[in-house]
A and B are shown apart, each in its own frame.
Chain A
Amino acid sequence: MAMGAPLLRVRNLSVTYPSDDGDFRAVRNVSFTVGRERLGIVGESGSGKSTTGRAIMGLARPPARVKADELMLGEVDLRAQSERQLRRLRGKRMAMVLQDPKYSLDPVMQVGEQIAETHRTHLGSSKAEARVAALEMLNAVHIRDPERVYAMYPHQVSGGMGQRIMIAAMLIAGPELLIADEPTSALDVTVQTQVLSIMDELVRERGMGLILISHNLHLVSSFCDRVLVMYAGQVVEICDAGSLADAQHPYTRGLLAALPQLGLKRDELPQLQRDPAWMDDIATPLETHSRKVGA
């Protein structure tokens, strides 16, 4: 599995939001590690997958309460970092790509400048150096004619190009860990796979760890090495990606069955029957491994 020491270690992470009806536990005792690999987190809306990503980045702010027995990025204890220290880590050592580039890029700043700014902030480079690095980075995300695109504003670029620009801005300072939260859900299907290919290429070349958060089971299982399935704030199952079809948890199986499939004509799609027992605290998630000989 993960080579060497894991990049990220999460043990018993919980995120709780206080409310008038008592505490709402958005994330409950989530544990996992990420090495130089692609880890997927899937679940439906409200399952806690995005909150998990935000908590790792230190972005789950009060009134949310974040608790963990362990939250280590390499040798850095993320729980002990001040807001100022976290700001230095974000972008430099861990970065996050969000769903819609329309909202995550600054609308009144040239896109190239936004990439260069990250370089200057984290690497202390000069304006000229940062510009050169940003142009190289645009090239790395397969943007033809980087000089022209550098000077464009976010409203002038397409969704797919905007997301590639976001990836460029997130990777320019050389983070070890990239968290991508539904990075392609706002894009057309053919553009989706292009953006994922670019992300895959860069993450491999740089030996990074990637957490891909998505509701799309097919996408995650075809892209990632391992998949965590979340339900009601808990990880209910961990699967090797190729073996998602063999998943054991009734929730995972129910989701897979409810998905329309080309070539499998059914009059009725089986609807997911939610079992209240799935809400109970579980000690350890189910594990499904691919059947490899001698592994």
Chain B
Amino acid sequence: MSIVLDQVTVSYGRGAKRFDAARNVSLSIGEGEAYGLVGESGSGKSTVLRAVAGLIAHAEGRVELAGQTMGRHRSTAQRKMVQMVFQDPYGSLHPNQTVDQTLSMPIAIHRLGNADRRVAAALEEVGLGPQHRFRYPHQLSGGQRQRIAIARALILEPRILLLDEPTSALDVSVQAEILNLLSRLRREHGLTMLMVSHDLAVIAHLCDRIAVMNRGEIVETTTAEALAAGDVTNPYTQQLLRSNRGFDPSGAELDLLDAGPTR
């Protein structure tokens, strides 16, 4: 198993003010598998991703990556193993640093050496060329920026890639290019991927197994095939599935308003 989460709880505040952003989340994801987490804002899916990345400390439970149980502090080698791509390529790249500087930084931090060769190789890997190397983010399109963000994650040769809504800020045609790039990288490097999205079609395209989160908990685990067939049991998953199919002219959604908000 490449990623194992055992009863992981992440909480903020304490005592009466304690809020569990993720509660008793258990998952196990195999080497080279692509696993999806879906849910709406506030459902805890990004929290789970951050706990795996080590960006927030999990309060309870166990996070195991590639056979090693993660402690409160991770070693440099443990950090190198897990890299993340964020949603908004406009916000995740430093506006005053060139592509070259952005990609060289992780190499310097991890003292990998051969920066010049590694940067060139990473750019080629994501379908960009030497002409993009000394540009600033504002000189790149949204799709090119997301490619840079992916290159920055790949440059450390991680085993696990975490994807937080990697295409939701992009146009449909660019989304297809990025999704194809991610499939290829997974195939060629045997990467384990954990991807978060609110778009069921995008998740089902890339991932075989999918967990649905609501209010901090996994409410259902399913597969891409079961989702496509509408073969889901949890009422929240059914609602999500219906909303993803577009607008329902029967106005059935209005009934849900009286059922109260989802968070």
- Which residues of B (208-263) have their CB < 8 Å from a CB of A? 224, 227-229, 239-240, 242-249, 251, 253-254, 256-258, 261-262
A262 adjacent to B247 (CB under 8 Å):
no
| Given A44-B171, A142-B254, A263-B229, A189-B176 contact (CB < 8 Å) | no
Identify 5 new A-B residue pairs, CB closer than 8 A, beyond the known A201-B251, A255-B173. A45-B142, A223-B247, A261-B201, A268-B180, A271-B177
B240 adjacent to A189 (CB under 8 Å):
yes
B200 adjacent to A262 (CB under 8 Å):
yes
Q: List 9 A-B contacts (CB under 8 A).
A: A142-B254, A189-B40, A189-B240, A194-B257, A196-B247, A198-B254, A260-B176, A271-B173, A271-B176
B175 adjacent to A258 (CB under 8 Å):
yes
| Given A45-B171, A194-B254, A222-B247, A188-B205 contact (CB < 8 Å) | no
With a CB–CB cut-off of 8 A, which chain B residues contact A191?
A: 40, 262
B41 part of interface (Cβ distance < 8 Å):
yes
Shortest beta-carbon distance from A28 to chain B in Å: 20
The distance in angstroms between the C-alpha atoms of A290 and B138, with both chains bound, is: 43
The distance in angstroms between the C-alpha atoms of A221 and B249, with both chains bound, is: 11
User: Interface size (A, Cβ < 8 Å)?
Assistant: 42
> Which of A192, A197, A198, A255 lies at the interface centre, i.e. has the most chain B CB atoms within 10 A of its CB?
A197
A259 part of interface (Cβ distance < 8 Å):
yes
A104 part of interface (Cβ distance < 8 Å):
no
A215 adjacent to B243 (CB under 8 Å):
no
Query: Nearest residue in A to B241 (C-beta to C-beta)?
Result: A262
| Given A194-B254, A271-B180, A188-B245 contact (CB < 8 Å) | no
Query: Nearest residue in B to A265 (C-beta to C-beta)?
Result: B224
With a CB–CB cut-off of 8 A, which chain A residues contact B180?
A: 268-269, 271
A190 adjacent to B256 (CB under 8 Å):
yes
- Which residues of A (212-233) have their CB < 8 Å from a CB of B? 215, 217-219, 221-223
With a CB–CB cut-off of 8 A, which chain A residues contact B245?
A: 218, 222
Query: Nearest residue in A to B242 (C-beta to C-beta)?
Result: A193
- Which residues of A (227-270) have their CB < 8 Å from a CB of B? 254-255, 258-270
Complex partner residue of A272 from B142, B173, B244, B258, CB under 8 angstroms? B173
A219 adjacent to B240 (CB under 8 Å):
no
A91 part of interface (Cβ distance < 8 Å):
no
A158 part of interface (Cβ distance < 8 Å):
yes
B173 adjacent to A189 (CB under 8 Å):
no
The distance in angstroms between the C-alpha atoms of A236 and B120, with both chains bound, is: 40
| Given A189-B244, A194-B257, A260-B173 contact (CB < 8 Å) | no
B98 part of interface (Cβ distance < 8 Å):
no
B198 part of interface (Cβ distance < 8 Å):
yes
Complex partner residue of B248 from A193, A265, A267, CB under 8 angstroms? A193
B109 part of interface (Cβ distance < 8 Å):
no
User: Interface size (B, Cβ < 8 Å)?
Assistant: 41
A219 adjacent to B247 (CB under 8 Å):
yes
Shortest beta-carbon distance from B220 to chain A in Å: 15
B205 adjacent to A265 (CB under 8 Å):
yes
With a CB–CB cut-off of 8 A, which chain B residues contact A198?
A: 254
B204 part of interface (Cβ distance < 8 Å):
yes
A200 part of interface (Cβ distance < 8 Å):
yes
Shortest beta-carbon distance from A232 to chain B in Å: 13
A48 part of interface (Cβ distance < 8 Å):
no
Query: Nearest residue in A to B198 (C-beta to C-beta)?
Result: A189
B253 adjacent to A197 (CB under 8 Å):
yes
The distance in angstroms between the C-alpha atoms of A57 and B205, with both chains bound, is: 40
Give 6 nearest A-B pairs by CB, closest first: A263-B228, A222-B246, A260-B205, A258-B176, A272-B173, A188-B40
The distance in angstroms between the C-alpha atoms of A182 and B254, with both chains bound, is: 20
Shortest beta-carbon distance from A185 to chain B in Å: 10
Query: Nearest residue in B to A161 (C-beta to C-beta)?
Result: B261
A162 part of interface (Cβ distance < 8 Å):
no
A272 adjacent to B176 (CB under 8 Å):
yes
With a CB–CB cut-off of 8 A, which chain B residues contact A223?
A: 246-247, 249
Query: Nearest residue in B to A159 (C-beta to C-beta)?
Result: B41
B183 part of interface (Cβ distance < 8 Å):
yes
With a CB–CB cut-off of 8 A, which chain B residues contact A44?
A: 171-173
The distance in angstroms between the C-alpha atoms of A190 and B204, with both chains bound, is: 18
B202 part of interface (Cβ distance < 8 Å):
yes
B27 part of interface (Cβ distance < 8 Å):
no
The distance in angstroms between the C-alpha atoms of A45 and B90, with both chains bound, is: 15
B173 adjacent to A190 (CB under 8 Å):
no
A255 adjacent to B40 (CB under 8 Å):
no
| Given A142-B254, A188-B40, A189-B244, A215-B171 contact (CB < 8 Å) | yes
A200 adjacent to B251 (CB under 8 Å):
yes
B179 part of interface (Cβ distance < 8 Å):
yes
The distance in angstroms between the C-alpha atoms of A262 and B176, with both chains bound, is: 14
Shortest beta-carbon distance from B216 to chain A in Å: 15
The distance in angstroms between the C-alpha atoms of A260 and B179, with both chains bound, is: 9
Query: Nearest residue in B to A42 (C-beta to C-beta)?
Result: B172
With a CB–CB cut-off of 8 A, which chain B residues contact A258?
A: 172-173, 175-176
Query: Nearest residue in A to B43 (C-beta to C-beta)?
Result: A188
A175 part of interface (Cβ distance < 8 Å):
no
A160 part of interface (Cβ distance < 8 Å):
yes
